[in-house]
A and B are shown apart, each in its own frame.
Chain A
């Protein structure tokens, strides 16, 4: 069984079900990418794994432990890091304060982790005393990812980390995400830029209307003519 897995999840935000028997999992040190058309329930699937909506059927397991009933906060304590798609930094606070807030639940010394984040995103070291709200879109995303990394999470979940950034910044962000995965973190992300994302993915999930349509390695999905035609623009 995968390190983190949401199995047969069915549920929604209280009204009609959005997810239907959806399964998403990721291994340590790997990148799993959720792609699919608009309204396919990509973000919803990720939020379900993070406990932000109720699933009435199915379960979420991490490291062999059933965490279906836990609150998002409790999941953060267990080692899940989540980067929301929007409003993912404290705009009025400096970059360094953002990182400190990311590490709020930690009681030990955080300076090493802070250095690691600065090594990963050197631009943040330079701008450490600048309010995060004054940074460019790409830099903000780096702050957001850095904030989530401050708890030293075992799983990092990213909701469209490259939304609204330029292609160059996107490539750079993906490079950083690969680096994070290589350090042994399980990375699960939702992406609009399906082709580029599947390129770096160990595992890909194509969702359609809240169900798994195709599940394979990133490479295989890219090679699959049906997937190419329907979701990757040929």
Chain B
């Protein structure tokens, strides 16, 4: 019984939140990797792109809520999502035309793009605060839980509960759908293959008659879709705060690099590696060991390796270690 209790405890506090957070990071890292694979630069504005998409989703959600439209028990933001995506696509395509295209025609080195994207990041952060304000916004409505801790306890008779939030289930399902669609697109469709070809060998892709402007446009459109979904899911799960997206940039980049930047599969794996490392390192294991060890062994401390305040240090350390030991990441990256 104690073993079961301890496992449920881990499932409730590590596995379910880790899975959700991993999905969010995986989607974010996919956007970074796509832009890196096609446009060959690290897009620092990606966090704000996620925020931007989430903001538009929320604006449309408010509109729909004011009209009394609801899809309860699912959160209203889901029907606002497609409109948020459209706005974000329009925005990133505008940014590409207004900023990146200029440097592309000049064949500027990647670092120039990186700096331009950092500038865009600050610009977008400002615009977002201007439009929706810096405060916390609640995104989730409809049913909060699929399974409450109390229900689980009554069902199983265990002392420990397992709660699954609606937002967590939606996050996991949406990630599976997005990742499946993306892999199908990249590996099975001619357009997707042309993107991989462009990413693999730009000159040869040009010789084969692949239109670079097209490829770049598709890359931005897909990035905008994934970023909006990622940002909205993050907001749905935790609440939407504009400033969190600057902090998210570090774990997202860490995820992309750990997996091998430029490699979509690596981005997904990297997302889960970072998420589970962060959560397992910052979780307090006191109760877990209390179930498994005799009473005399029980500790007075929390048995927590690192305070949750330092959770970003985890991704930073992983990032540094990966860059020192295996800079290519788990899967060799560079091309989609």
Q: Which residues of A contact B (CB under 8 A)?
A: 72-73, 76-77, 82, 84, 87-93, 97, 100-102, 104-105, 147, 151
Cβ-defined contact, A76 with B201, below 8 A: no
Q: Which residues of B contact A (CB under 8 A)?
A: 190, 193-194, 196-197, 200-201, 203-210, 335-336
Within 8 Å CB of B206, what residues of A?
Answer: 72-73
Cβ-defined contact, A90 with B207, below 8 A: no
Cβ-defined contact, B193 with A92, below 8 A: no
Within 8 Å CB of B193, what residues of A?
Answer: 93, 97, 100-101
Given A100-B193, A101-B194, A89 and B204 contact (CB-CB distance below 8 Å):
yes
Cβ-defined contact, B209 with A105, below 8 A: yes
Cβ-defined contact, A87 with B203, below 8 A: yes
Cross-interface CB contact of B210 among A72, A89, A92, A104, cutoff 8 Å: A104
Minimum C-beta distance from B72 to chain A (A):
46
Which 4 pairs of residues, A with B, have the shortest CB-CB distance? A105-B209, A90-B200, A101-B197, A92-B335
Minimum C-beta distance from A89 to chain B (A):
7
Q: Give the distance in Å from the alpha carbon of A200 to the alpha carbon of B314 in the complex.
A: 64
Q: Give the distance in Å from the alpha carbon of A100 to the alpha carbon of B187 in the complex.
A: 12
Cβ-defined contact, A93 with B209, below 8 A: no
Minimum C-beta distance from B250 to chain A (A):
28
Cβ-defined contact, B190 with A92, below 8 A: no
Name the residue among A72, A87, A93 with the largest chain B CB count within 10 angstroms.
A93
Given A97-B193, A101-B194, A84 and B200 contact (CB-CB distance below 8 Å):
no
Within 8 Å CB of A88, what residues of B?
Answer: 204
Can you report 30 residue pairs joining A to B where beta carbons are below 8 Å apart?
A72-B206, A73-B206, A73-B207, A73-B209, A76-B207, A77-B209, A84-B203, A84-B204, A84-B207, A89-B201, A89-B204, A90-B197, A90-B200, A90-B204, A91-B201, A91-B335, A92-B335, A92-B336, A97-B196, A101-B193, A101-B194, A101-B205, A101-B210, A102-B208, A104-B190, A104-B194, A104-B208, A104-B210, A105-B208, A147-B204
Minimum C-beta distance from A154 to chain B (A):
15
Within 8 Å CB of A90, what residues of B?
Answer: 196-197, 200-201, 204-205
Instruction: Considering the complex, give the chain B residue whose CB is closest to the CB of A87.
Output: B201
Cβ-defined contact, A82 with B207, below 8 A: yes
Q: Give the distance in Å from the alpha carbon of A72 to the alpha carbon of B204 in the complex.
A: 11
Minimum C-beta distance from A190 to chain B (A):
16
Cβ-defined contact, A104 with B209, below 8 A: yes
Q: Give the distance in Å from the alpha carbon of A132 to the alpha carbon of B206 in the complex.
A: 18
Minimum C-beta distance from A145 to chain B (A):
13
Minimum C-beta distance from A61 to chain B (A):
21
Given A97-B193, A101-B193, A104-B194, A92 and B200 contact (CB-CB distance below 8 Å):
yes
Minimum C-beta distance from A189 to chain B (A):
16
Within 8 Å CB of B208, what residues of A?
Answer: 76, 101-102, 104-105, 147
Q: Give the distance in Å from the alpha carbon of A104 to the alpha carbon of B190 in the complex.
A: 8
Q: Give the distance in Å from the alpha carbon of A73 to the alpha carbon of B203 in the complex.
A: 11
Q: Give the distance in Å from the alpha carbon of A101 to the alpha carbon of B201 in the complex.
A: 11
Q: Give the distance in Å from the alpha carbon of A222 to the alpha carbon of B336 in the complex.
A: 48
Within 8 Å CB of B336, what residues of A?
Answer: 92
Q: Give the distance in Å from the alpha carbon of A77 to the alpha carbon of B207 in the complex.
A: 10
Within 8 Å CB of A82, what residues of B?
Answer: 207
Name the residue among B207, B335, B336 with the largest chain A CB count within 10 angstroms.
B207
Minimum C-beta distance from A50 to chain B (A):
9
Instruction: Considering the complex, give the chain A residue whose CB is closest to the CB of B335.
Output: A92
Minimum C-beta distance from A216 to chain B (A):
31
Q: List 20 other contacts, CB 8 Å, given A73-B209, A104-B190.
A: A72-B207, A76-B208, A84-B204, A84-B207, A89-B204, A90-B197, A90-B200, A90-B204, A90-B205, A92-B200, A92-B335, A93-B196, A97-B197, A100-B193, A101-B197, A101-B210, A104-B208, A104-B209, A104-B210, A147-B208
Q: Give the distance in Å from the alpha carbon of A36 to the alpha carbon of B188 in the complex.
A: 45
Within 8 Å CB of A101, what residues of B?
Answer: 193-194, 197, 205, 208, 210
Cross-interface CB contact of B204 among A87, A97, A100, A105, cutoff 8 Å: A87
Cβ-defined contact, B200 with A93, below 8 A: yes
Instruction: Considering the complex, give the chain B residue whose CB is closest to the CB of A148.
Output: B207
Q: Give the distance in Å from the alpha carbon of A88 to the alpha carbon of B201 in the complex.
A: 8
Q: Give the distance in Å from the alpha carbon of A76 to the alpha carbon of B210 in the complex.
A: 11
Within 8 Å CB of A73, what residues of B?
Answer: 206-207, 209
Q: Give the distance in Å from the alpha carbon of A115 to the alpha carbon of B183 in the complex.
A: 27
Cβ-defined contact, B209 with A100, below 8 A: no
Name the residue among A84, A88, A104 with the largest chain B CB count within 10 angstroms.
A104
Name the residue among B196, B201, B204, B206 with the largest chain A CB count within 10 angstroms.
B204
Q: Give the distance in Å from the alpha carbon of A91 to the alpha carbon of B190 in the complex.
A: 17
Within 8 Å CB of A91, what residues of B?
Answer: 200-201, 335
Within 8 Å CB of B209, what residues of A?
Answer: 73, 76-77, 104-105, 151
Within 8 Å CB of A100, what residues of B?
Answer: 190, 193
Q: Give the distance in Å from the alpha carbon of A82 to the alpha carbon of B197 in the complex.
A: 17
Minimum C-beta distance from A185 to chain B (A):
17
Instruction: Considering the complex, give the chain A residue whose CB is closest to the CB of B191.
Output: A104
Instruction: Considering the complex, give the chain A residue whose CB is closest to the CB of B207.
Output: A82
Cβ-defined contact, B203 with A93, below 8 A: no
